[in-house]
Amino acid sequence: MLGTLSDALALLAGFDHRLLEIVGLSLRVSLTALAIGAVLGLPLGAWLAVASFPGRGALIVALNALMGLPSVVVGVLVYLALSRSGPFGSYGLLFSPAAMIVAQSMLVVPLIAAVSRQIVEDAWKEYAPEFAVIGIGRPQAVALLLADCRFSLSVATLAGLGRAMSEVGAVMIVGGNIDGYTRVMTTAIALETAKGDLALSIALGIVLMAVILGLNVAAYHLRGWATRRYG
């Protein structure tokens, strides 16, 4: 056990090329999915927070339920959509990083939208009377609330990144875990553990944990700084 841990640390200390490649792809895929998730999820959540229409409650319940969507289900859905016989099969995206980005985006968008809906709705309850008297319309309110809640929302997006980076089922199905092409940290850990190469698994696990821990530390300090700076 200690020998395996020592090997894992050696891989990290030596900036192992294979390890760096996997970490690099993981970050590229997950950060891109996060960007898509933020661009779509934040306005969607904010709009749901201020909108008033029949079925809004059902939509919110559905969005909240989608937060817990199993990643393998998303993987199967994206697989079906991108496979040769699927509606987007002609793009040839299956078993590519692009397919993994699509799958992770589908996991991240509902999470960011649902959390941001709650954050923005709390602010909206506070601001709505003042906005109404001033004559701020709903689209302007969405923009203002997104700006006003930016620090709380940044924590929501970091949670989205955590979700993207830690999931394994969807990227395994739509990426195929191809060495040097679609192998990311989680799928590599699953594969290398099955093969018995625990050193690489542990090294990747340490990196993954460090990234997740780093995100949480960043979120904690961002909130603290924002409270001191902006009240």
Judged by the rule CB under 8 A, the positions of this chain that interact with another protein are 126-127, 129-130, 132-137, 140, 144, 147-151, 226, 229-231
In this structure, the number of other CB atoms found within 10 A of the CB of residue 196 comes to: 8
- Tell me the closest approach of the beta carbon of residue 190 to another protein, in angstroms: 42
Closest to another protein by CB, 125 or 221: 125
Q: d(Cα 101, Cα 40) in Å, to the nearest integer?
A: 14
Closest to another protein by CB, 6 or 227: 227
Q: d(Cα 174, Cα 75) in Å, to the nearest integer?
A: 6
Q: d(Cα 187, Cα 183) in Å, to the nearest integer?
A: 6
- Tell me the closest approach of the beta carbon of residue 57 to another protein, in angstroms: 21
- Tell me the closest approach of the beta carbon of residue 126 to another protein, in angstroms: 6
Q: What angle do the packed helices 150-166 and 17-50 form, to 10 degrees?
A: 130
Contact 177, 75 (CB under 8 A): no
- Tell me the closest approach of the beta carbon of residue 136 to another protein, in angstroms: 6
Closest to another protein by CB, 88 or 151: 151
Closest to another protein by CB, 52 or 85: 52
Closest listed residue to residue 185, CA positions, set 213, 215, 164: 164
Instruction: Name residues whose C-beta falls within 8 Å of residue 51's C-beta, 6 or more positions apart in sequence.
Output: 138
Q: Is the dihedral of CA 160, 166, 168, 174 positive or negative?
A: positive
Closest to another protein by CB, 39 or 134: 134
- Tell me the closest approach of the beta carbon of residue 132 to another protein, in angstroms: 6
